[in-house]
Amino acid sequence: MDEALAAEHARRLQAPDLVGRLLAARGVELDEAQLFLNPTLKDLFPDPSTFADMDTAAEVILEAIVSGKKVAVFADYDVDGGTSSAILSRYFRAWGRELILYVPDRLTEGFGPTPFAFRALKEMDAELVVTVDCGAAAIEALKTANEIGLDVVVMDHHLMHDDHMPPTLALVNPNRPDCKSGHGFLAAAGVVFVLVAALNRLARRRGVVPEGGLPDPMKWLDLAALGTLCDMAPLKGVNRAFVTRGLACLERLENAGLKALAEVAGIEAPKSVYHATFVLGPRLNAGGRIGDPWTAARLLATDDRAEAIQLAEKLNLQNQERKQVEADIQKHALEQVEARLREKTDAGILVVGGEGWHPGVIGIVAGRLKEKFHRPAVVVGWGEGLGPVARGSGRSVPGVNLGNLISNAAKSGLLLSGGGHAMAAGLSMDPARLEELRAYLEEQTSGAALELAEARVLEIDGTLAPGAATGALLDMIERIGPFGSNAPEPLFAVPNVRAAGARRVGENHMAFDIVGENGARVRAIAFRVADGPEGQAIARGDPIHVVGRLRPDTWRGPGKVQIEVADIALA
């Protein structure tokens, strides 16, 4: 860390040294500090015209709205797709128009538009389809749409590696090779939010306004924030403004669907990144993972209180089912990993699979394995009722480009398809070739010892005594929030302590007091450790070192804090 930069940040901001150090450690330059700490849409919102095809997309969609064309939105089945489609649905409703909604089934259709889906929408009399959070890579499907006379506008953000543009009326994607917007870090919800701004601007220029006046997109910042956070989009530039303003909007619970979902989740006023990412997000994702993929998009778009409650309860139940399915797969996956590591302790990647492992949760399990063993993990599932082929999902560590590894495996003929980016990838394959895939990937990562060693390093922002974990310190830390991808939450080491009053909570978590050498203590929670060596050390009260994040302790009231444990080591 640049100590001089940290000191200058603190001096200019008239802030404590810790604030300056945290800013410097996150690479914030002096001229960026004010906007980093106080991000505003006024200062950070991009000009829609800088996005390739955005003006064309606005013209096509506004013409469809004004002329009364039948328009469909084709959305991905995750939170980013659901929030994107809800923003667009609410925009159309403000003009007195309703969109046809189409969300593909993960098992039978897979990701993105298919020729089947576009033919189905044509049979529903759709004249224009707007794809959100997908479509840029759906070459064959878009060719089919063109052949059957179905107009398509693509709103996407996924990486595009081809210079070839598929046949569309407009393809808006800040990651298409010729887009000069500089906003490739946006989630799809952010791209769609820019679209509605472009639509309003065009409507003003043309003097066309719905009966109640132009819709106010600021009311939908909660959706933009949810899509941004749940898709792990980097919290920089306008994304910080989306999240900061969006969380304030979320807290007001003006969206009927989010209000109902917060109620079934047991939170009165969701206002934090934690609430959005770890409470609401998993429930919104549950339908796309193991249930009805349409549920979340319908929930986020509805204004009907009764419908919202029904859909929210359905998602809550599906999320409980998802947790059980995930736990069962994770148990068997861990057994396979441990058996493999006994045979090959230096395996550079973990590759496991099983019949009946649901494709909707294997990505979560891959992430858990990566976190536990500090190396890339690929989890594959197949079986009756789970789709025609085996599907796999992988998560990686910095320094090991999993997307390239999976793409190369596909090119070598080991996979039916596969690709992704550095930290995550997906694939489809014949399950009979799982052992071949494991051998191939282990061979390809055999020289990654340095990268894997670095993946075990946990970078901290400072050390903390239990007595120093106060509400005042938390307030100071929160000044540089929100935290998320590309803006990591501060981590503190709490050395030479012991646990007291430990108790098991939930299925596999531990709650306890961290007690310092002078007797000072602070509450702590450690997730998914109760059945492992960390949980045993906590239960015995062994001397330990703890690394964790400072959190508000909502159970004990305002000003109280606790530490959410990230790692534990015997002292």
In the block, tokens 């939930």 appear at: 506
pLDDT at residue 112, rounded to an integer: 87
Note the pTM of the prediction, 2 decimals: 0.90
> By the 8 A CB rule, do 79 and 285 touch?
yes
* pLDDT, average across residues 262-272: 90
Given a cut of 90, whether residue 2 has pLDDT beyond it is: no
pLDDT at 107: 79
pLDDT digits 0-9 by tens, 131-165:
999 999 888 999 999 999 999 999 999 888 666 67
Helix H or strand E encompassing 407 = helix 402-411
Whole-angstrom Cα distance, residue 364 to residue 371? 11
155 and 57 Cβ atoms separated by less than 8 Å: yes
Give tens-digit pLDDT for 453-510.
888 888 898 899 999 999 888 888 888 889 988 888 999 999 999 999 999 998 789 9
Residue type, 51: F
Q: Which of 168-182, 236-250, 548-562 has the least mean pLDDT? A: 548-562
Per-residue confidence (pLDDT) for residue 162, from 0 to 100: 62
For 90, 98, 200, 215, the CA distances from 207, given in Å and listed in that order, are: 21, 22, 10, 14
Q: What are phi and psi of 101, to 5 degrees?
A: -110, 135
- Alpha carbon separation from 129 to 74, 95, 155 (Å, rounded): 7, 17, 10
Residues 6+ apart with CB under 8 A from 369: 333, 334, 337, 350, 352, 377, 379, 395
Single out the residue of 395, 399, 391 nearest to residue 358, CA to CA. Answer: 391
Mean pLDDT over all residues of the chain? 92
Place of tokens 């792990």: 232
Q: Across residues 29-34, what is the average pLDDT?
A: 92
3-state secondary structure of 465: coil
Sheet of strand 170-172: strand arrangement: 100-102, 71-75, 128-132, 151-155, 170-172
Contact (Cβ atoms closer than 8 angstroms) between residue 64 and residue 205: no
For the stretch 46-75, pLDDT in tens is 999 999 999 999 999 999 999 999 999 999
Phi-psi region of 42 (alpha: psi -120 to 50; beta: other; left: phi over 0): alpha
Given this model, what pLDDT does residue 486 score? 82
Q: 175-211, pLDDT tens digit by residue?
A: 999 999 999 999 999 999 999 999 999 999 999 999 8
Q: Over pLDDT 90: what percentage of the chain?
A: 75
Strand pairing category for 521-526 and 509-515 = antiparallel
Looking at 469-514, list the stretches that DSSP marks H as alpha helix, in order from N- to C-terminal side.
471-478
**CA–centroid distance for 186 within its chain:** 12
- In angstroms, the CA 184 to CA 285 distance is 23
Question: Is pLDDT at 243 greater than 90 in this prediction?
Answer: yes
> Quick one: pLDDT at residue 273?
92
- For the segment 360-376, the average pLDDT, to the nearest whole number, is 94
| The pLDDT value given to residue 367 | 94
Predicted confidence (pLDDT) at residue 387 exceeds the cutoff of 90:
no
Per-residue pLDDT, 288: 86
C-alpha 155: how far from its chain's center? 18
CA 379 – CA 362 distance, rounded (Å): 6
pLDDT, residue 421, reads 79
Question: Per residue in 209-235, is it b (16+ CB within 10 Å) or e — as a string?
Answer: eeeeebbebeebbbbbbbbbbbbebbb
